[in-house]
């Protein structure tokens, strides 16, 4: 029960289901889906304090806790396993080296993500210098015009095996331009807030929102190729 409360509270925090204001229009999946609970556990602050005082086993626990997420993040950004591995290693090493500078103004996880993003982007720029500008791209209203308008059914993801679904999702994000992909991954996969995403990337909140809008719409189009339930002729 407590877990269910946490899950729902997390959804409310994310705004996917507006608190106290159910949509006037019932969507095809009106029931909140089960989502993972918050990434950051309550004992993170204590672990960070211990690690700062030199307790390596506390830092070990932080590594074990976040290594999968940080590797997924760096893979998503770089789209290259070798770069992702290097970026992950350097993110953890740098986070340990700079722990004394960590003031606790943000969550450790967010701070670690920021370091990992920088490491990943540095490698991406090195490998693809012509396509990884974080400057605001030219965006037009044309970008926003939906082309796929088909029903997906209530649970389209359940029509696929887990590995196949993961492949569909990762291929779709890989096709996004890096500036859209990075924002989407931070917001909707790693679950940072808009403000945290802006801070991690050194861009404004409106820029995060603009890129997130485009990323979500483009991914919707890409996933629609797999999930749309076409009308039978």
Partner 1 sequence: MNCKGLIREISDYLDGELAVETLTEIEIHLQRCKDCRLIVDTTRKTIEIYYSTQPLPLPNDVRERLHQALIKRLGRRPTA
Nearest distance from C-beta of residue 132 to partner 1, angstroms: 22
How distant, in Å, are the alpha carbons of 41, 163, 212, 217 from that of 158?
Answer: 29, 12, 25, 21
Q: How many CA atoms lie within 13 A of 128 on its CB side?
A: 15
Sites of contact with partner 1 (CB under 8 A)? 12, 14-19, 21, 23-25, 27-29, 33-36, 56-57, 59-61, 63-64, 67-69, 71-72, 81, 85, 88-89, 92-93, 96, 141, 144-146, 148-152, 156-157, 165-166, 169, 184, 188-189, 191, 194, 209, 212-213, 216-217, 219-220, 223-224, 227
User: In this structure, are residues 180 and 208 in contact, taking their beta carbons and an 8 Å threshold?
Assistant: no
Q: Indicate the residue among 45 and 153 with the shorter CB distance to partner 1.
A: 153
Nearest one of 41, 40, 122 to 74, comparing CA atoms: 122
**What DSSP assignment string belongs to 164-186?**
HHHHHHHHHHHTS-HHHHHHHII
Nearest distance from C-beta of residue 129 to partner 1, angstroms: 26
User: In this structure, are residues 113 and 200 in contact, taking their beta carbons and an 8 Å threshold?
Assistant: yes
* Cα–Cα dist 49/56, whole Å: 11
Nearest distance from C-beta of residue 230 to partner 1, angstroms: 13
Q: Indicate the residue among 92 and 108 with the shorter CB distance to partner 1.
A: 92
Nearest distance from C-beta of residue 152 to partner 1, angstroms: 5
Nearest distance from C-beta of residue 174 to partner 1, angstroms: 13
The answer for 70, left when phi > 0, alpha when psi is -120 to 50, beta otherwise, is alpha
User: In this structure, are residues 120 and 83 in contact, taking their beta carbons and an 8 Å threshold?
Assistant: yes
What CA dihedral angle connects 150, 154, 155 and 160, to 10 degrees? -40
Q: Indicate the residue among 28 and 130 with the shorter CB distance to partner 1.
A: 28
Nearest distance from C-beta of residue 136 to partner 1, angstroms: 17
């Amino acid at each position: 029960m407590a877990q269910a409360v946490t899950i729902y509270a997390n959804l409310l925090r994310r705004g996917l289901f507006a608190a106290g204001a159910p949509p006037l229009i019932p969507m095809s999946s009106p029931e909140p889906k089960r989502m993972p609970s918050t990434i950051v556990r309550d004992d993170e602050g204590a672990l960070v304090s211990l690690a700062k005082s030199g307790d390596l086993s506390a830092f070990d626990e932080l590594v074990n806790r976040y290594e999968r997420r940080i590797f997924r993040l760096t893979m998503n950004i770089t789209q290259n396993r070798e770069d992702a591995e290097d970026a992950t290693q350097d993110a953890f090493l740098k986070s340990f080296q700079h722990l004394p500078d960590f003031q606790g103004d943000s969550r450790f996880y967010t701070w670690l993500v920021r370091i990992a993003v920088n490491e990943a982007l540095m490698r991406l720029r090195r490998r693809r210098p012509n396509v990884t500008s974080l400057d605001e791209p030219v965006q037009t209203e044309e970008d926003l015009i939906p082309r796929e308008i088909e029903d997906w059914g209530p649970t389209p993801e359940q029509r696929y095996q887990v590995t196949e679904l993961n492949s569909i999702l990762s291929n779709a994000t890989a096709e996004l331009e890096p500036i859209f992909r990075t924002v989407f991954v931070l917001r909707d996969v790693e679950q940072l807030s808009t403000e945290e995403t802006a801070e991690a990337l050194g861009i404004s909140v409106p820029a995060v929102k603009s890129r997130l809008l485009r990323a979500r719409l483009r991914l919707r189009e890409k996933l629609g190729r797999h999930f749309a339930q076409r009308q039978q002729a």
